Structure 1
Amino acid sequence: MTFPRAADVVIIGGGVNGASIAFNLAERRVRNIVLLEKETLAGGPTGRSSAILRQHYSNEVTARMAFNSLKEFQEFSHKVGGECGYVKTGFMIIVDARDADRLKQNVAMQQRIGIKTQLITANEVKQIDPYLCTEDFLYAAYEPEAGHADPVLTTSSYGEAAKRLGVQVFQKTFVRSVKANSSRVLGVETDKGTIETQTVIAAVGPWTPMLVAPLGISLPIHACRAQICIVERPAQMKEEVHPIYADFVSSIYLRPEEGRQTLVGSIDPKEAEDRAPNPDSYKEAVDTHFRDEMLEKLAKRVPILKNGLYKGGWVGLYDITPDWHPVIDQVGPEGLFIVAGFSGHGFKLAPATGDMVADLVTGGKSAVPDVKFFNYDRFAKKQYIRGQYEYSIAG
């Protein structure tokens, strides 16, 4: 394929959001779209995502995004084409007594917008999962339709669907800079040549601040390591899968994996302090102290997993903003759109994000019209997005 010298739209970043945006723009009959990825599709943080699909958010805009996104994951082969690897497991969020009333209010809001969720007691949790220790909480929110997907397969399917609609996808293509004058975008310079364009969508996660800084844009986004441990479940656990848990009492999450394995990670906001100043070069091995902490907390929440076998792990990256919500906005010179700062929520929201960004660029009306909710100016004005809960990572 000949490298283009001009395009109507250039998308920088071949993670799940960039691929979803490309597909959604092409579906709206936008022509001459180019997607650029410096490695391979999903070769960055997307490919290292735990890919959990839950809808529990404490503000309505993000909850609607998750609701609409889950529907697309469930009907992926029909709506997009290809597969996403969706596995239905159910999801529970566990909170302590101080957040019980907020949990109830949140479940009511989610039910109002159509999410299948319910408030259940600790005894009812025990009926769903008899292995779980339920002595330190009273209630949980349960989403039976939640689950997880395959992040690489999902991104690849979006990419292939976009190509079928005419999008040109170039992998192993490094973007050196976005070109602009005092008022608008002019193009992008890559290691394969310059592409003239008046519309650039920057969706490169933790690399976004470095990409747009030469244009005078200061993005309050930093990269942090996201560590994940793998535990092989003992033979005494008969079930092939268990629900996904976001346990805000213990500050851990659990997600079943094939091969009788469970993924374990932290949902403590303090993990944002584990910064990765250079997202191209960071420690990719799980820290010993992190492993020990996760295994200890896991054994307390699911005592039978004290007999599990630690199988290693991996480390991904989050691109974190001060309020743990993304920037989805036209920023700086006309024609530059920034889609970054998802703070660990990017994969599960990707279908809705693609829809919202496509309509932001074309002037259409997405299923979640409140894209201004994620405006860039909120940081300078200190008008942060706040959820009902005290913990920010829940959204």
Structure 2
Amino acid sequence: MSAILQAGGRVTGVRLASGEEIHAPVVVNVAGPGSHIVNAMAGVLDDMTIRTRPLRQEVVHVPSPPGFDFETDGTIVSDSDIACYVRPEHGNHILIGSEDPDCDPHHWVEDDLHYNRDFTEQWTTQAMRYAQRVPTLGIPSRMRGVVDLYDASTDWIPIYDRSALEGFYMACGTSGNQFKNAPIAGKLMTALIGYCEGGADHDTRPLRFTLPYLGREIDAGFYSRRRKVNTESSFSVLG
């Protein structure tokens, strides 16, 4: 995508890099780690107190210790003392991710296309941290896992909101912790778009959204682009 099309203060569609234009009365920014670039294209940054930027992350894959089937019998664990989370990975491997402790520097990048995709010493650090819990864990010389990006917001809480450009909405800043919430986030955005396009002012009277299975109501203004930084956030992947 090369441009957000607009006229008269309202979005009208997008232009692709090929030059093709796709016209629509509503556009939703779900660009993940590229969300800040798309918001800049739309010219909607000025009224946002919460913004997004891509954060480089390394995730470790190591074999399960001998004699234990972690893929079948392992479980998801969050261990804040060593600042790691783990879960089973295919091939009887263990996935080890970081909980972003203060002692580890953050590696912010400028965009979602140009960043170091190689493993670094951080890989070894995370593997050794988990080895404190599992002394029989082998740490192979060949590094395996994933190097990719979080779409991190200012306070690590997502933005599910409208924007200053009519018809342009945002579902971004998920900060590595919203994958499990994707289905309900879609329902929330559907309700939010209907609410705003129906003439309601979400900025002054935020949508009250009812969770379909629990029947509980939430204030969608919690996810506003204009909210104050939430000081109760963990400011990490834990949300």
For this structure pair, what is the TM-score category when the shorter chain's length is used for normalisation?
0.7 to 0.9
Q: What is aligned with 1:184?
A: 10
CA distance in structure 2 between the aligned counterparts of 1:316 and 1:333, rounded to whole angstroms:
30
Alignment of 1:16-95 (within 5 A): none
TM-score normalised over the length of structure 2: 0.81
CA-atom RMSD, angstroms?
A: 2.2
The aligned residue for residue 213 of structure 1 is 40
Matched, 1:222 2:53: yes
Give the SS at the match of 2:123. helix
Give the aligned partner of residue 280 of structure 1.
113
Deviation at 1:392, TM superposition (A): 4.2
1:182·1:333 contact (CA, 8 Å) conserved in 2? no
Do 1:232 and 1:311's aligned partners in 2 also have CA atoms closer than 8 Å?
Answer: no
Letter in structure 2 aligned against 1:180: Q
User: Is 1:265 aligned to residue 109 of structure 2?
Assistant: no
For 2:85 and 2:10, locate their aligned partners in 1 and report how far apart those are by CA, in whole Å. 43
C-alpha distance after superposition, 1:35-58 (max 9, x if no partner): xxxxxxxxxxxxxxxxxxxxxxxx
SS at match of 2:151: strand
Secondary structure class of the residue paired with 1:323: coil
Cα gap change, 1:256 to 1:186, in 2 (>3 Å)? same
Equivalent position SS for 1:301 = coil
TM-score (norm 1): 0.50
Is contact 1:225–1:275 with CA below 8 Å preserved after alignment? yes
More helix by share: 1
Q: Is residue 2:222 matched to residue 1:373? A: yes
How far does the alpha carbon of each residue in 1:123-167 deviate from its partner, in whole angstroms, 9 at most, with x for none?
A: xxxxxxxxxxxxxxxxxxxxxxxxxxxxxxxxxxxxxxxxxxxxx
The answer to whether the 8 Å contact 1:229/1:263 transfers is: yes
| Aligned pairs, number | 214
How big is the shift at 1:295? 2.0
**Match among 157, 179, 183 for residue 351 of structure 1:** 183
Structure 2 residue aligned with 1:314, among 137, 146, 162?
146
Give distance in 1, aligned partners of 2:69 and 2:22: 56
Q: Do 2:87 and 2:96's aligned partners in 1 also have CA atoms closer than 8 Å?
A: yes
Between the aligned partners of 1:263 and 1:272, the Cα distance in structure 2 is 21
More strand per residue: 2
CA distance, structure 1, for counterparts of residue 219 and residue 105 of structure 2: 27
Structure 1 SS opposite 2:21: strand
For 2:34, give the aligned amino acid. Answer: W
**Take 1:295 and 1:241, find their aligned partners in 2: how far apart are those partners?**
20
Aligned-pair CA distance for 1:258? 2.4
| Distance in 2 between residues matched to 1:283 and 1:392, nearest whole Å | 21
Q: Is there any run of 5+ residues in structure 1 with no aligned partner, and where?
A: 1-174
Provide Cα deviations, 1:352-380, integer angstroms capped at 9, x if missing partner: 100100111123954154221100111xx
Q: Quote how far apart the aligned CAs of 1:346 are.
A: 2.6
